[in-house]
Amino acid sequence: MAELLNLLPQVTIDGLLLGFVYAVVAIGYTMVYGVLEFINFAHSEIFMVGAFIGAEIFLVLGNAGLLTGMPHLLILLVAVMGAMLLAGGLGVGIERVAYRPLRGAPRLVPLIAAIGVSFVLQDAARAVATLIHGNFIMGVPSLFPGQNIALPGGLTISVKAVLIVISSLIMMAGLTFFVQRSRAGKAMRAVAQDRATAGLMGINVNQIITMTFFIGAAMGGAAGTLFAVQYTSVDPYIGFVLGMKSFTAAVFGGIGKLPGAMLGGILLGLFESYGAAFLSATTGGMFGAEYKDVFAFALLILILIFKPAGLLGQATGEKV
């Protein structure tokens, strides 16, 4: 027991780091659902494409000899902003080509289209990466190598982990301010509440939906780049499991609610980290850390059974 307690602070730090990545990806799911009321399962592959874009920016800067000549913080900012812009543009293109023509169709139809887009993006990323680099698994140059911050109690945390958490907090706070305070954010909330009435009041519904897809995809691209920085390797299949867990986080917190996506992501990261660290010890070695993924999906089942609206969500009646 004493050994487990000694591990608790470091495990909590690792869980928070993972949770912030889940939270940023979950925001993309919850924004699209809040406006269109359908799950964009291609969002996990937008995250993956964002990771490839960020990795490619790092490699280009490295080949140009700029990784040693530029401050790493500036390099990270360039990569994140580049991934946000390109991933946001990809999200807008997907909405215009695959989702807008199906907007009046039964809900199952755009869901199937989203799954199809997901497979297309996976194969496209694999083909492009193989064509350029000869391998679809890309290594990412390490930023801030060996740089750690000492914490009380003999704990350490890497500089890049701190920057990932700070970047996630800034993006989530900025997005919350935008949605709650800006004119465009108010229009977005109006469309989410009643699309037809918002259109009658002079709001350009198509423009708001396009903006929603751009912002959600941009957040996914940023999260992908932060993932690449932390784990220094990307491939076309990293989005699937992480995307499913981020969707679970969105449902856990209350899908359609930005604070719910943030809370759900952080809590899920903590639960998973605790499970990976303590499962073997608490079960006498019967279950190891490889069962940590079970936590996310077991949690999803429990949520859907006992609180389908999520922690911060509210049950609503069907509009008639």
Query: What one-character-per-residue DSSP string does the chain give?
Result: -HHHHHHHHHHHHHHHHHHHHHHHHHHHHHHHHHHH-S--TTHHHHHHHHHHHHHHHHHHHHHTT-TTTS-HHHHHHHHHHHHHHHHHHHHHHHIIIIIGGGTTS-THHHHHHHHHHHHHHHHHHHHHHHHHHSSSSEE-PPSSTT-EEEEGGGEEEEHHHHHHHHHHHHHHHHHHHHHHHSHHHHHHHHHHH-HHHHHHTT--HHHHHHHHHHHHHHHHHHHHHHHHHHHSEE-TTHHHHHHHHHHHHHHHH-TT-HHHHHHHHHHHHHHHHHHHHHHHHHTTTSS-GGGHHHHHHHHHHHHHHH-TT-SS----PPP-
Predicted confidence (pLDDT) at residue 287 exceeds the cutoff of 80: no
Q: Are 165 and 94 in contact, with CB atoms under 8 Å apart?
A: no
- The pLDDT value recorded for residue 82 is 95
Interval 199-230: pLDDT, tens: 988 899 999 999 999 999 999 999 999 999 88
pLDDT band at 283 (very low <50, low <70, confident <90, very high): low
pLDDT band at 320 (very low <50, low <70, confident <90, very high): very low
Interval 66-103: pLDDT, tens: 777 778 888 889 999 999 999 999 999 999 999 999 98
Q: SS3 for 41-91, per residue?
A: CCHHHHHHHHHHHHHHHHHHHHHCCCCCCCCHHHHHHHHHHHHHHHHHHHH
pLDDT band at 139 (very low <50, low <70, confident <90, very high): confident
131-140, 143-152, 252-261: the lowest-pLDDT one: 143-152
- The pLDDT value recorded for residue 88 is 95
Please give the residue that has the higher pLDDT: either 117 or 63.
Answer: 117
- The pLDDT value recorded for residue 280 is 67
Interval 159-207: pLDDT, tens: 888 888 898 899 889 998 998 889 998 999 899 888 889 998 889 999 9
Predicted confidence (pLDDT) at residue 37 exceeds the cutoff of 60: yes
Predicted confidence (pLDDT) at residue 63 exceeds the cutoff of 90: no
pLDDT band at 11 (very low <50, low <70, confident <90, very high): confident
Segment 35-46 shows an average pLDDT of: 88
Predicted confidence (pLDDT) at residue 7 exceeds the cutoff of 90: no
